[in-house]
Structure formats: structure tokens, C-alpha cells
């Protein structure tokens, strides 16, 4: 069972324990804050702030508990024959939407070459499913596809089709393929346009599907590669170093009702066709129309029909690229925000597993939580305006003043607890890696510890800016504004000063207004709020600085020190097709010669 909890009672006990720890953390913060507010007379605003801190702490605690669960277990492959002959037919699907055909099709060629290098006779086809609206890009797709087929000897194995109407976007694209051609295949590997996977990984995914007939969907844990900017490399390091531990905890908690992240996963076509039809929601976007975060819904629908949905976090060889700057990250996050908030229309659908409903609630909370944090900050600044002056002479005629007891210790304890939930899991992951052989893949124990501190510092600086971007997205959705499906920017992510200022001037103004209000109305909070307000005020500089290429040797990941075989193949293909391979940092070693068996 790939290292998952072995029985339902044990799984339920684990879930209860994880949720209980979150509740304890949230209630502890709630009580501490009430005691803090009680020192100078409890007000309605104090109770409101205590409720806000309760909800926010519950969300923070869930991430921490997930990491602690991952730290106490190890990935383990399921029992199956790794050399069993593959009987079924598989199609690798790459949906594209106004992407650069040379870049995306080169990834397909690299995956095919990696599969061919294994020597396995499995029947695996490739389908490029275009939703491209730009006619010039579409013409280029056909041209590059012909080159791809000729180079890979892909006649009868490679297919391309472009939809006239991109109804349903990516989910509709996949659904259209399954309706038209799904009967020809037993399994389908779903990619994104920036996905890259080792051939051996795909073969083992297929074998796991064949070894377990109830398995409807198998999700891998993709690693981010090719990052060059400071922001991109921080995300890349986090995905490679921290995410496997968090994913381990997620896999343990979800069991057979696991996640689907929309790419780098394999589906059983029959199960998907039977379970995952996605009708448009009633009404108009953003809450109506086609489901944007369709992957979560498809996982829930598969589980509803009794299919196993599993995250196999022991599988490597699964890669993707990420945004290189905060602006591109915020644009992508805007779409995810709208999709996750749509789940408020779906969470009550009949027949869903309780855990699927919990996952929907988590996804909604991921975007609503910043509103609670901002509400807490605003209420804290406004609190002195509604708090009566303390009565230092409560006893008539008594000549000596009575000073209320200091609640500073409780405030400091609460702050330490909140920061502990944020920082402790990552520090524990770094410590365990430094004490084990895992650190060597990231440059050694000292570099791991320094990289962790650098990532924590950078994420602390960018968190207030990202919080406001997320808050704006939530308010736009609740304001009935449809974000649509913007094209991803996969090129150079460097932001000019003009673009950085245009994207974040409003964040700077909010930061200035917040700090000025704190200085005027709640001066005691000014220093406490400075770590939040200062990055907001400096938002244009942060956006610009984090988008620049990184020159630091910190936050190195294993594929930089030793590029994966499929990455080497991809670089050779890219060079042969007249492009320059995308590097990850100036310190990255040259790609070693590709092994003869992996020749494209």
C-alpha cells in the first residue's frame, strides 16, 4: 500500500489525531488571546479577534501537523512486479493552449526518447490536444508536429488535434479526447505543457495500475526544475526539499481518497469515463460555468464511485516548471482561487466521501484564510478606538491606583506559537536531512541549513505581498469578476521596474496606510506589524528583485548537481531544434554527455 496506513481503523485514528491536534492548537490560541484581552477589559472586538485567530491558527496548524506526520513515516512502494509485461495500451496526453510549440513538443520528444531508451515493448501513444486560439501559433503547432513525428518515427503513435471550440478548457479538452478516442486505451498519462517525465516512471505507473484493478488514478509528486530567478529557485528548493515531507503526510491522511493535481498523473480511462463527467455549474462565472479546479472534483468523483485515488510519493522522475516571478504566480493563483471557491457549490454534492468534502473545505480555506489574517490585523489596529480607558481607582476613596496585571507574557507566548507553526516544520525537515544522507543531494548539511534559513527569510518577506494578491483574488471572485484562463508565461520572468510598480502600487499604498494607522491609533503594535507592513511598502522592489536571476549557491536541488536523464535528453533535443536549453543558475554544472542508451 505504498507506505499508507494499512487499515481503515488506523486511517480513521490518524485523521482524528491530526484534526484533534489542529483543534488543540486553535483553541489554545483562542484562549490565550482571550486572556490577553481580558487584562484591560474584554470587549466585543477582543472576542472577534479571538475568533479570527482561532480560524487562522487552525489553518496554520493543519500544515504543521501534515509535516509532522510526514516526518514520522517513509515512502514505500506497493507490492507489485516491477518487470511484469505491460498488457494494456496507454496514451500520453499533453493539452496545450497558445504555448510555444518548440518548447512543448520538445518535452514530448524527450519523454518518448526516454521511453524508447528503456527497451520496453509497451504500447504507448502520444496525443497533443490543442486548444490554441492564436492562428499563427496553431499553424506553427502543425509544422513542429510534423517535425516531431518525422524525428521520432511516430506515424501511428503520435496524434494531434485542435478543437474548434475550447469549451470546458483543459477539463473539456481531456473529456473530448476520452469521448472520441478513450475506447482505444486502457490508461492515459495526463501532462501539462511544462511537464517532463522519465520513461521508466511512466512504465512503473502503468504496472501499478495493472497490479491493482481498483486503482482509478495515480498521482505523482512533481518536482520543479529549470528555475533561474530568486523567486523561482526558492519555489524549486521548497518543492524538492520540503514538499516530499508534506506530501508524505498528505498521502498518509488521504489514504485511498487521494488528490489529483491535474498533471503528471495516470488515470484508468474506463474509470474516468464512467465517473468524471463535469457538467457546467448553473449560473455565470465566477461561481457558475465550467469548473476551473476540475482536478479536485474528478478525484472526488472517482472516489465516490469506489475507485482508489492515490498519491504514490515514492515515485521519482516527475518534473514540471514553475512561475519565475510573483506576478506570474499571482496570475496563476487567481485562476486557482476562482476554481477552489467554486467548490462551495460542489462540497454538498450527494454521495461524496466525507474526506473529499474535507479536501474541498481545505481548498476553500486556503484562499479565504488571508481574509481572516487581514481582518485580525485591522481589528487590532482599531481596537484602541473601542477600548475604554482603564480605571486605575476602581475602589472609591482608595488613594492608591490599581494597575491591571501585564498580559505581555501571553502575547509573547501566542506570537511564539504562531511563528512556531510557520517555521518549526521546515526547521525540523532541515535538521533531519542534515543528520541523514539526504542532505548530500542538496549540497551537504551546512548548505541545507543555510538554504532553509534563506528560504524562510525570502518566504517571510514575500508572504505579506502574496497575502494581498490572494485577498484581492478572493474579493474579485466574491465581487462576481471572472478571471478567465490566462495564458501562462513560460519565458524570461524578469520584471522591469515599470511592470513591478504597475502590479504592486496598490499593495504599497495599503502597507503605508496600515503602518500609518498603527502609528496613530495603536502605537504599541507598530513594531509587531513592521514585518508585515514593510514588505508591503517595498512590494515593487521585492517583485523586481525576486524576479532577477539568482547568483547564490544556496537553495541548490539535486537535479542541478546531477541533471535527470530525461532532462539531458530534452536539452539535446532543444539544442538540435535550434533553441538554447534553459539553465537553472549560473553555478549549474554543464550537462554531462547523454548516455548512449538514452539517445534521442
What 8-state DSSP symbol labels residue 100?
-
Domain hosting residue 94, numbered range: 89-323
Domain count, the chain: 1
40 vs 82 pLDDT, higher one: 82
Query: Can you tell me the mean pLDDT for 73-86?
Result: 89
Q: Is residue 154 part of a domain?
A: yes
Q: Is residue 275 part of a domain?
A: yes
Q: Is residue 102 part of a domain?
A: yes
CA 573-579-582 angle, 5° bins: 85
What pLDDT shows up at residue 457? 95
Q: Is the pLDDT reported for residue 588 higher than 50?
A: no
Among residues 478, 77, 130, 552, the alpha carbon closest in space to that of 285 is found at: 478
CA distances to 80, 314, 371, 432, 588 from 561, in Å: 32, 21, 40, 21, 7
Q: Please name every residue paired with 161 in a beta bridge, in sequence order, or none if there are none.
A: 129
CATH number at residue 306: 3.90.550.10
What pLDDT shows up at residue 303? 96
What pLDDT shows up at residue 40? 64
SS3 488: coil
Q: Please name every residue paired with 95 in a beta bridge, in sequence order, or none if there are none.
A: 129
Torsion angles phi and psi, residue 563, rounded to 5: -55, 140
pLDDT digits (tens, 9 = 90+) for 187-208: 999 999 999 999 999 999 999 9
Query: Can you tell me the mean pLDDT for 432-458?
Result: 94
Q: Is the pLDDT reported for residue 39 higher than 80?
A: no
Q: Considering only 82-96, 271-285, 529-543, which range has the smallest mean pLDDT?
A: 271-285
What pLDDT shows up at residue 3? 60
Q: Is the pLDDT reported for residue 340 higher than 70?
A: yes
Do 514 and 377 touch, CB atoms closer than 8 A?
Answer: yes
What is the rounded distance in angstroms from the CA atom of residue 1 to the CA atom of residue 283?
42
Res. 166 pLDDT band, cuts 50 70 90: confident
Q: Is the pLDDT reported for residue 597 higher than 50?
A: no
Which of 52-76 are b and which e, b meaning 16 or more Cβ less than 10 Å from the residue's Cβ? bbbbbbbbbbbbbbbbbbbbebebe
What is the rounded distance in angstroms from the CA atom of residue 537 to the CA atom of residue 521?
19
Q: Which three cell numbers stand for residue 476?
A: 474579485
Q: Is residue 165 part of a domain?
A: yes
Q: Is the pLDDT reported for residue 314 higher than 70?
A: yes
What pLDDT shows up at residue 388? 58
What pLDDT shows up at residue 270? 96
What pLDDT shows up at residue 600? 28
What is the rounded distance in angstroms from the CA atom of residue 257 to the CA atom of residue 378?
39
Q: Is residue 271 part of a domain?
A: yes
Instruction: Measure CA 380 to chain center.
Output: 31
Do 292 and 215 touch, CB atoms closer than 8 A?
Answer: no
What is the rounded distance in angstroms from the CA atom of residue 218 to the CA atom of residue 265?
6
Res. 541 pLDDT band, cuts 50 70 90: very high
Torsion angles phi and psi, residue 122, rounded to 5: -55, 145
Query: Can you tell me the mean pLDDT for 9-25?
Result: 92
Q: Is residue 334 part of a domain?
A: no
DSSP alpha helix (H) spans, 435-525: 445-478, 497-521
Amino acid at each position: 500500500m505504498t507506505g499508507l496506513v494499512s487499515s481503515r481503523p488506523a486511517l480513521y485514528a490518524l485523521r482524528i489525531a491530526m484534526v484533534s491536534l489542529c483543534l488543540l492548537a486553535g483553541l489554545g490560541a483562542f484562549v490565550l488571546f482571550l486572556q490577553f484581552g481580558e487584562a484591560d477589559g474584554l470587549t466585543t472586538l477582543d472576542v472577534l479577534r479571538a475568533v479570527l485567530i482561532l480560524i487562522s491558527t487552525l489553518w496554520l496548524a493543519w500544515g504543521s501537523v501534515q509535516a509532522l506526520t510526514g516526518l514520522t513515516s517513509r515512502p514505500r512502494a506497493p507490492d507489485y512486479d516491477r518487470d511484469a509485461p505491460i498488457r494494456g495500451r496507454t496514451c500520453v496526453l499533453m493539452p496545450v493552449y497558445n504555448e510555444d510549440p518548440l518548447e512543448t513538443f520538445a518535452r514530448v520528444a524527450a519523454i518518448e526518447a526516454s521511453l524508447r531508451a528503456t527497451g520496453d515493448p509497451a504500447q504507448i501513444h502520444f496525443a497533443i490536444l490543442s486548444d490554441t486560439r492564436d492562428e499563427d501559433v496553431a499553424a506553427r503547432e502543425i509544422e513542429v508536429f510534423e517535425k516531431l513525428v518525422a524525428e521520432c518515427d511516430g506515424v501511428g503513435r503520435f496524434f494531434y488535434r485542435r478543437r474548434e471550440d475550447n469549451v470546458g478548457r483543459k477539463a473539456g479538452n481531456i473529456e473530448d479526447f476520452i469521448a472520441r478516442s478513450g475506447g482505444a486505451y486502457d490508461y492515459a498519462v495526463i501532462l501539462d505543457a511544462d511537464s517532463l517525465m522519465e520513461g521508466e516512471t511512466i512504465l512503473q505507473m502503468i504496472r501499478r495500475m495493472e497490479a491493482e484493478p481498483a486503482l482509478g488514478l495515480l498521482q505523482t509528486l512533481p518536482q520543479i526544475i529549470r528555475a533561474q530567478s530568486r523567486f523561482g529557485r526558492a519555489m524549486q528548493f521548497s518543492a524538492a526539499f520540503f514538499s516530499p515531507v508534506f506530501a508524505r503526510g498528505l498521502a498518509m491522511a488521504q489514504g485511498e481518497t487521494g488528490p489529483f493535481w491535474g498533471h503528471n498523473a495516470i488515470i484508468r480511462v474506463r474509470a474516468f469515463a464512467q465517473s468524471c463527467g463535469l457538467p457546467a455549474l448553473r449560473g455565470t462565472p465566477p461561481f457558475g460555468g465550467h469548473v476551473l479546479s476540475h482536478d479536485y472534483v474528478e478525484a472526488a468523483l472517482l472516489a465516490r464511485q469506489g475507485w482508489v485515488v492515490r498519491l504514490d510519493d515514492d515515485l521519482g522522475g516527475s518534473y514540471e516548471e514553475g512561475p519565475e516571478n510573483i506576478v506570474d504566480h499571482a496570475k496563476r493563483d487567481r485562476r486557482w482561487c476562482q476554481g477552489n471557491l467554486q467548490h462551495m457549490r460542489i462540497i454538498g454534492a450527494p454521495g461524496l466521501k466525507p474526506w473529499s468534502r474535507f479536501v474541498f473545505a481545505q481548498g476553500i480555506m486556503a484562499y479565504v484564510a488571508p481574509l481572516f489574517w487581514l481582518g485580525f490585523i485591522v481589528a487590532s489596529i482599531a481596537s484602541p478606538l473601542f477600548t475604554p480607558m482603564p480605571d486605575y481607582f476602581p475602589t472609591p476613596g482608595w488613594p492608591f491606583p490599581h494597575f491591571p496585571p501585564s498580559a505581555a507574557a501571553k502575547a509573547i507566548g501566542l506570537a511564539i506559537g504562531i511563528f512556531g507553526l510557520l517555521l518549526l516544520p521546515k526547521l525540523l525537515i532541515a535538521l533531519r536531512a542534515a543528520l541523514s544522507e539526504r542532505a548530500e543531494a542538496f549540497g551537504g548539511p551546512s548548505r541545507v541549513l543555510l538554504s532553509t534559513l534563506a528560504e524562510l527569510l525570502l518566504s517571510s518577506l514575500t508572504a505579506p505581498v502574496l497575502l494581498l494578491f490572494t485577498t484581492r483574488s478572493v474579493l474579485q471572485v466574491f465581487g462576481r469578476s471572472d478571471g478567465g484562463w490566462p495564458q501562462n508565461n513560460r519565458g524570461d520572468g524578469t520584471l522591469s521596474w515599470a511592470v513591478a510598480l504597475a502590479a504592486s502600487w496598490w499593495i504599497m499604498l495599503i502597507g503605508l496606510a496600515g503602518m500609518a494607522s498603527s502609528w496613530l491609533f495603536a502605537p504599541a503594535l507598530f513594531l509587531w506589524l513592521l514585518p508585515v507592513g514593510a514588505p508591503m511598502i517595498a512590494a515593487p522592489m521585492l517583485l523586481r528583485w525576486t524576479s532577477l536571476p539568482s547568483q547564490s549557491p544556496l537553495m541548490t536541488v539535486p537535479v542541478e548537481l546531477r541533471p535527470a536523464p530525461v532532462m539531458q535528453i530534452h536539452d539535446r533535443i532543444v539544442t538540435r531544434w535550434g533553441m538554447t536549453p534553459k539553465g537553472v543558475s549560473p553555478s549549474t554544472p554543464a550537462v554531462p554527455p547523454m548516455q548512449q542508451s538514452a539517445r534521442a
